Amino acid sequence: MPKNTLSVTDNRTGKQYELPIDSGTIRAVDLRQIKLAEGDQGLETYDPGFLNTAACRSAISFIDGDKGILRYRGYPIEQLAERSTFLESAYLLLNGELPSAAELDSWVFNITHHTIVHESIKKFIDGFHHDAHPMGMFVSTVAALSTFYPEAKHIHDETSRRNQIFRLIAKAPTLAAFAHRHSVGLPYAYPDNDLSYTGNFLNMMFKTTEVKYAPNKTLERALDVLLILHADHEQNCSTSAMRGVGSSHADPYSAMAAAAAALYGPLHGGANEEVLKSLREIGSKDRIPAYIDRVKRGEFRLFGFGHRIYKNYDPRATIIKRIAEEVFDVTGKNPLIDIAVELERIALQDDYFVSRKLYPNVDFYSGIIYEAMKFPIDMFPVLFAIGRTPGWLAQWQEMLLDKDQKIARPRQIYTGPEKRDYVPIEHRG
Ligand code: CMC
């Protein structure tokens, strides 16, 4: 019977060690016993960007990057996109199981009845410059929410945690829509509790003078599916930020503001905005080869392509491509889709992309749909943030309940000067 251990020989000392293997990993702290001399801090691992380091055990989402598989709590993303709703999937992520009918009713009721924000929030938003990026406003107002709910710092109190989870999922679309209304100079549209989560978001975004906003059912469902697709994605950059900040026992509003800030970057949730800018810059199919040449020369990246984990087609991109057709039946075709499809075709035949296993990711087609639905480009990362909110919260809660977890505090390899004495300014060169 083979042993579930790893034998290590330290060739500096000739000593041998046997390290237990559990779930395909060794514990990094087990390396500490491998030392040159008593008193030294022992061997560490060096892993910038966490390419090969598991920072937690998690039961929330599962990705097989080679096979292009994504599951939430075991359920394939394709089935959830086909049959679930965003709020039901959010419940699943947070609670581990699909809800009963009564559980779902109560969950939806609670989210629906926490959508209104304190009137003072409007004053913050009013204070932003007219051309402030909505993601900047979103990050700031999520952080500001913590000042309205001081009890949120009781992170070990289950009832308090549950209330903040209701509030964050409920208020994320309100903050997002208010940020948009401020940008375009429209009066804020208040939540309408008669509508679904996504229908209400469309209402708060796009309502003008009508007495009651009636969302288009196809667009409402398409947006709901897009939110499902974004809801969780194991230990990505923003989720790691949520866990990292949460590990210091900060309240969930502060932790989620940090997560949203991490999402804002163009390598993560900001990529959907960049894709649209690229497609517009390309402008026509005949200009694609020249654009790809510039990517290959290293001038810039092809946004919406590549992924740390997926080395195959991102399953979310496949579903999004299908939704695009349904949306275009209502909105008319976004001409950028033809450029995107051709760009994908050419890239996937090119050795640069093939050899590096760079495939379209979730951000490649999502922006084209958002644009067809009349969302301004700078709202795209905010839409991603609304979708990812339940995932961030599920991961935050899992982290708090995990006895193995401690405050996030990586090690470093110090490369600075040795000790030296302070030099008075008149003696410096
Ligand atoms: N365009 C051109 N080259 C790329 C791209 C790209 N989009 N992505 C990776 N590469 C190249 C990279 O230059 C490197 O080449 P080489 O080996 O010659 O140096 C190789 O592929 C490996 O790239 P990497 O940067 O080491 O890979 P990573 O795992 O650190 O980065 C990534 C993953 C998503 C940041 C990266 O693929 C990227 O920048 N993509 C564009 C931004 C994007 O679409 N982000 C959204 C990701 S999906 C939504 C989300 O979860 O955030």
What string of pLDDT tens digits covers the 429 residues of the chain? 789 999 999 999 999 999 999 999 999 999 999 999 989 999 999 999 999 999 999 999 999 999 999 999 999 999 999 999 999 999 999 999 999 999 999 999 999 999 999 999 999 999 999 899 999 999 999 999 999 999 999 999 999 999 999 999 999 999 999 999 999 999 999 999 999 999 999 999 999 999 999 999 999 999 999 999 999 999 999 999 999 999 999 999 999 999 999 999 999 999 999 999 999 999 999 999 999 999 999 999 999 999 999 998 899 999 998 999 999 999 999 999 999 999 999 999 999 999 999 999 999 999 999 999 999 999 999 999 999 999 999 999 999 999 999 999 999 999 999 999 999 999 998
Q: Is 53 domain-assigned?
A: no
290 and 145 in a single domain? The answer is no
Instruction: Kindly give the distance from the C-alpha atom of residue 356 to the centroid of ligand 1, in angstroms, as a whole number.
Output: 9
Same domain, 10 and 85: no
Q: Is the dihedral of CA 296, 297, 298, 302 positive or negative?
A: negative
Query: For a substitution probing ligand 1, which of 53, 63, 307, 366 has the most ligand atoms within 8 Å of its CB?
Result: 307
- 368 and 390 share one domain: no
By most ligand atoms within 8 Å of CB, the mutation choice from 300, 344, 357, 358 for ligand 1 is 358
In a domain, 410, yes or no: no
In a domain, 413, yes or no: no
Q: Verify that 106 and 184 share a domain, yes or no.
A: yes
- State the distance from the centre of ligand 1 to the C-alpha of 301, rounded, in angstroms: 7
Domain membership flag for residue 422:
no
Amino acid identity at 347: A
Helix axes 217-230, 362-372, angle to 10 degrees: 160
CATH code, domain with 186: 1.10.580.10
* Whether residues 160 and 278 fall in one domain: no
CATH number at residue 313: 1.10.230.10
SS (H, E, C) 119-130: HHHHHHHHHCCC
* Statement to judge: residues 128 and 252 lie in one domain: yes
Whether residue 73 sits in one domain with residue 154 = yes
Is 340 a domain residue?
Answer: yes
- Measured from the Cα of 308, ligand 1's closest atom is 29
- Give the closest residue (by CA) to ligand 1 atom 29: 308
Report the SS3 class of residue 47. Answer: coil
The answer to whether 78 and 319 have CB atoms below 8 angstroms apart is yes
pTM of the complete model: 0.95
Helix axes 288-296, 271-282, angle to 10 degrees: 130
Return the beta strands (E) in 160-240 as ranges. Answer: none
pLDDT in tens, 329-357: 999 999 999 999 999 999 999 999 999 99
Minimal-distance CA residue to ligand 1 atom 48: 361
Q: Which residues are catalytic?
A: 268, 307, 363
Is residue 188 located within the same domain as residue 309? no
Return the amino acid letter for 148. Answer: F
In 3-state terms, what secondary structure has residue 135?
helix
Whose alpha carbon is nearest atom 25 of ligand 1? 308
Going by alpha carbons, the residue nearest to atom 27 of ligand 1 is 308
**Sign of the torsion formed by the C-alpha atoms of 213, 217, 218 and 222:** positive
Tell me which residue has its CA closest to atom 31 in ligand 1. Answer: 308
Q: Is 50 helix (H, G, I), strand (E, B) or coil?
A: helix
Among 363, 417, 418, 403, CA closest to 156: 403
Residues 175 and 158 placed together within one structural domain of the fold: yes
Same domain, 77 and 29: no
Give me ligand 1 centre to Cα 311, in Å: 11
- Spell out which residues line ligand 1, taking CB within 6 angstroms: 233, 236, 267-269, 271, 295, 301-308, 356, 358, 361-363
**Token output for 222:** 């398409």
> Does residue 39 sit in the same domain as residue 94?
no
In a domain, 407, yes or no: no
Please state the domain count of the chain.
3
State the distance from the centre of ligand 1 to the C-alpha of 123, rounded, in angstroms.
39
Identify whether residues 219 and 283 lie together within a single domain.
no
Q: Which domain holds residue 225?
A: 64-265+380-401
